[in-house]
Structure 1
Amino acid sequence: MMRELYRRVVDFWPVHAHAWDAIDECSRLSASVAVSLLRGRSSGAGLAAAIADMEVICERLRMIVGDGLVDIEKVESLQRLQGRLVQEEQRVAALGEQSGDAP
């Protein structure tokens, strides 16, 4: 049902309308992250709403760009994230060993 709704929306409005929506939602999410996580001035509901809206626009953009291409890029992005995590874990472990805190 949701996939059908996304398809109807993508087919109904022109690509530039989805682009403007994406820009708007990115800005809103950015502001919500700053207020909620950096300043701690929110209960989280505003951030949750901004995340939900961003997920909706991402699904629309995914349909426009193509699921396959997005999936490929997502795998590569997750691999980079994993590489950064492993590198940071190794760095922290090495610091612990240098200070004698390692078990």
Structure 2
Amino acid sequence: MTNERIAPPLPTTAEAGNYIAQASAVLRMLRQANTMTYGDFAEIIGLRKASEAWHPAYMRYVSKILDLTAATAQAVHDNLSADDFARIVKPGLASPVLALSAA
């Protein structure tokens, strides 16, 4: 049994770089999809395994990864927009299958 009170370890710099690259790809993919929760996003980019319990620290990690992804996109003149980042929603605010046009 895992202790859900212990935060998962912070990602290393190399891991964070991988998460940023994955985040950019996922954000582009979501242009054709709809929205995604922080939990689903964390799983897709490899930050959290599906078998791991959700911990509030993941919310902070995902937020930081999205911030770093935005900064990286701006620095390299990537075409990610604020709308792309708005598709990642906090738990309880929207369903991962809720279309933005229906919101």
What TM-score range do you get, normalising by the shorter chain?
0.3 to 0.5
Q: TM-score, normalised by structure 2?
A: 0.33
Higher helix share: 1
Q: Say which structure, 1 or 2, has more relative contact order (CA 8 Å, 6+ apart).
A: 2
